[in-house]
């Protein structure tokens, strides 16, 4: 017999609030993705040589923005419709786009680092090789954590659908949910610390004030720190969410899905704004800095 897990959110008021947040944030991401594609379409199609990693970073950023936006809007629709498949599809609508966004941040960080270092030192070869190895490591790590999350989710879903006990179904969903959250925390913190390490190395090369917007080198360093801070915020937000989930599960075990509270909603809003929307807007408004023809073609 085919079974489904219960709807994630059962109270009307919280449901509407969560759905509204996901819909608004998702719409912002879709807008960013479409407008960004409009502005850089010629650059992507152009045969003019660009800096290493430019086209890949721009294409993945657009895909990440659209996936995040469509995922959040779709999740909002599932919540409003009280679909019994909301819990089943959550790893696809909420979890998976986060991994694409992390890959996008890695590629953008690599591109900005290359430009910043070129502005500061003449010999980039040694630094560039280390940076490229870091990028490869981070991309592999993100893909592995994504594969683990997807595999565990599918496994727990099979167990839930073949079980005759409601408790077993809910327990399987909680296990998948927990593993997905832990993987996301590790993903964001490992990436953030790697970003921070290289950002500090580049900042040490500065001979100008860090917070001087008149210096192109300083602007790139601030942009790198912006991506780093975003990952720390998102990782911390997921950790807070997971802690609240465990606390409520332990103290209110008869009520499933008790993490859907206004407190968790505030945490989600903070994460959406400071860890995803603002850094993506930063990338959007600095698209010209990402598309330099050479390191000497500086944006005034």
Give per-residue pLDDT as tens, 179-201.
Answer: 888 999 999 999 999 999 999 98
- Residue 71 contacts residue 30 (beta carbons within 8 Å): no
Whether the predicted pLDDT of 153 surpasses 50: yes
Query: Running DSSP on this structure, what letter comes out for residue 259?
Result: T
| CA dist., res. 18 & res. 190, Å (int) | 29
Q: Give residue 164's pLDDT band: very low, low, confident or very high (50, 70, 90).
A: low
CATH for 12-290 is 1.20.1070.10
| CA dist., res. 251 & res. 281, Å (int) | 40
pLDDT of residue 27: 98
Instruction: State the Cα angle at 82 between 79 and 87, rounded to 5°.
Output: 65
Average pLDDT across the chain, whole number: 83
- Alpha helices per DSSP H over the chain: 12-45, 54-80, 86-90, 96-120, 125-162, 166-203, 216-251, 262-271, 278-285, 287-290
- The domain segmentation of the chain, as residue ranges, is 12-290
| CA dist., res. 38 & res. 58, Å (int) | 12
Is the pLDDT higher at 102 or at 218? 102
| CA dist., res. 57 & res. 105, Å (int) | 8
Burial 23-49 (b: 16+ CB within 10 A, else e): bebbebbbebbeebbeebeebeeeeee
Cα distances (angstroms) measured from residue 32 to each of 37, 110, 197, 287: 8, 21, 29, 12
Give the torsion through C-alpha atoms of 203, 206, 208, 209, to 10 deg: 10
Least confident of 22-36, 64-78, 279-293: 279-293
Share above pLDDT 70 across residues of the chain, in percent, rounded to a whole number = 80
Whether the predicted pLDDT of 253 surpasses 70: no
Its sign, for the CA torsion 163, 168, 169, 173, is: negative
């Amino acid at each position: 017999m085919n079974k489904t897990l219960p709807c994630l959110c059962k109270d009307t008021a919280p449901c509407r609030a969560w759905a509204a947040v996901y819909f608004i944030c998702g719409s912002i991401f879709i807008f960013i993705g479409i407008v960004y594609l409009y502005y850089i379409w010629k650059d992507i199609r152009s045969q003019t040589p660009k800096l290493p990693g430019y086209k890949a970073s721009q294409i993945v950023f657009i895909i990440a923005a659209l996936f995040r936006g469509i995922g959040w809007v779709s999740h909002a629709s599932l919540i409003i419709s009280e679909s019994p498949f909301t819990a089943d599809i959550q790893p696809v609508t909420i979890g998976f786009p986060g991994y694409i966004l992390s890959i996008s941040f890695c590629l953008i960080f690599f591109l900005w680092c290359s430009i910043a270092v070129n502005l500061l030192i003449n010999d980039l070869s040694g630094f560039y090789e280390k940076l490229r190895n870091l990028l490869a490591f981070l991309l592999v790590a993100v893909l592995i954590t994504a594969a683990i999350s997807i595999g565990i989710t599918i496994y727990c879903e099979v167990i839930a659908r073949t079980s005759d006990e409601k408790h077993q179904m809910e327990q399987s969903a909680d296990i998948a949910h927990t593993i997905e959250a832990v993987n996301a925390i590790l993903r964001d913190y490992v990436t953030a610390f790697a970003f921070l390490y290289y950002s500090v190395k580049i900042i040490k090369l500065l001979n100008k004030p860090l917070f001087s917007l008149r210096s192109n080198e300083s602007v790139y360093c601030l942009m790198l720190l912006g991506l780093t801070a975003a990952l720390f915020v998102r990782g911390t937000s997921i950790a807070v969410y997971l802690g609240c989930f465990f606390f409520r599960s332990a103290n209110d075990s008869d009520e499933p899905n008790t993490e859907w509270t206004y407190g968790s909603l505030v945490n989600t809003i903070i994460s959406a704004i400071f860890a995803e929307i603002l850094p993506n807007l930063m990338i959007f408004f600095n698209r010209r800095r990402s598309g330099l023809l050479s390191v000497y073609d500086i944006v005034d």
